[in-house]
Amino acid sequence: MKKILVVGGGGFLGQNIVRHFQQQQYEVGIYDVHIPDFFRTKNISCYVGDVINDSNLDSIVSQYDIIVYLISAIMPGDSMKLPLSSYSTDIPLLITLLESCIRSNVKRVIYSSSGGTVYGENCKPNKESDLVAPKNHYAICKIACEHILQLYNNLYGMENIILRISNPFGIGQRTSSGVGVITAFVHSVLCGEDIKIYGDGSNVRDYINVSEVARAFEHALVWPFDKKISPVFNIGSGQGLRVSDIVKLVSETLDIKPMVSFSPFREFDVKCNVLNIAKAQKYLDFKMHGDVRRSIREYTIRMKSENVVKEHIVRQDAD
């Protein structure tokens, strides 16, 4: 059984991927600048550190067969406020990790890219072979990192794989992260706050439950790497939903009519993005489990049952 190190494993995606790998009996380690306390009691090797400045990085990486790489220093909106941030942080982090892999003879890094931002505007489902047309620095940085990963494949015989993930939602996602429309909307409705929408609600996105994303990473672990196939795969539901559709779904599920406030459309936001997942279905054997609308309803009910209103009040008191 392969040993997996999840770099950035303390975040939303990482926590769900680690849990899934554990359930599948993989030996998993977590590397991050902060690791949730509940993982420290789960028979998981935990490494707290900063990739760039960690003198122990090689000794840690060399203990593993495959690296799952989830680090993103900044989100799309923030990347426009701080234009240099993505390039000055994310690219050096990735190269440092890849150089450690070369020294440690680790062949495969599975990289979390962004299917939701790299393609830009496109009215039809995006294929991996479509031209990319990013509208923010975050997306440009993701594309640069993809090229770096493939450079290491070509020069050093690595087997790096890139998963372009759409818009994940699910357990453990925090509204404070600045991403996650579904989580933010449910939280707002349950707390009696206005739902805030940029634009008129007609923006279309491809949403996917994080549990599906975790399964996609497992499929990438075991894919028999083929140099004749580009190692870039879309991971999404393959279905487009408008922001207004999400509001309606959440409202109907909770039986609460929310107040909605609209702000001007942001030029760096993509108006329509849906992923064509045929390539991942064919080569990674990735298949969606169920309908995304049903998954959103189930997640909404779970958020309500976990009493997010109480958590919100506690956080306010702490502030």
Q: How far apart are CA 235 and CA 21, in angstroms?
A: 18
Question: Does 106 have pLDDT greater than 50?
Answer: yes
Across-strand partners of 141?
none
* Of 165 and 1, the one with more pLDDT: 165
Residue 316 has what pLDDT? 38
Residue 314 has what pLDDT? 38
Give the mean pLDDT of 39-68.
93
Residue 307 has what pLDDT? 60
Question: Does 179 have pLDDT greater than 80?
Answer: no
* Of 6 and 86, the one with more pLDDT: 6
Helices 181-190 and 308-318: crossing angle in degrees, nearest 10, is: 90
Structure confidence by residue, pLDDT tens digits, 228-277: 999 999 999 999 999 999 999 999 999 999 999 999 988 878 889 999 99
257 exposure class (CB count in 10 Å sphere: 0-12, 13-18, 19+): exposed
pLDDT grade for 41, boundaries at 50, 70 and 90: low
pLDDT grade for 79, boundaries at 50, 70 and 90: confident
* Of 132 and 178, the one with more pLDDT: 132
pLDDT grade for 280, boundaries at 50, 70 and 90: very high
Q: Which helix (H) or strand (E) holds 159?
A: none
Domains 3-168+207-235 and 173-205+238-274+291-318 agree in fold: no
Residue 121 has what pLDDT? 81
Mean pLDDT score across all residues of the chain: 91
Q: Tell the CATH topology of 3-168+207-235.
A: Rossmann fold (3.40.50)
Residue 77 has what pLDDT? 76
Tokens at 109, concatenated: 């890094």
CATH architecture of 173-205+238-274+291-318: Alpha-Beta Complex (3.90)
Sequence-ordered list of residues with C-beta below 8 angstroms from that of 318, at least 6 positions apart, any chain: none
Structure confidence by residue, pLDDT tens digits, 135-159: 899 999 999 999 999 999 999 999 9
Domain map (residue ranges) of the chain: 3-168+207-235, 173-205+238-274+291-318
Structure confidence by residue, pLDDT tens digits, 164-177: 999 999 988 987 65
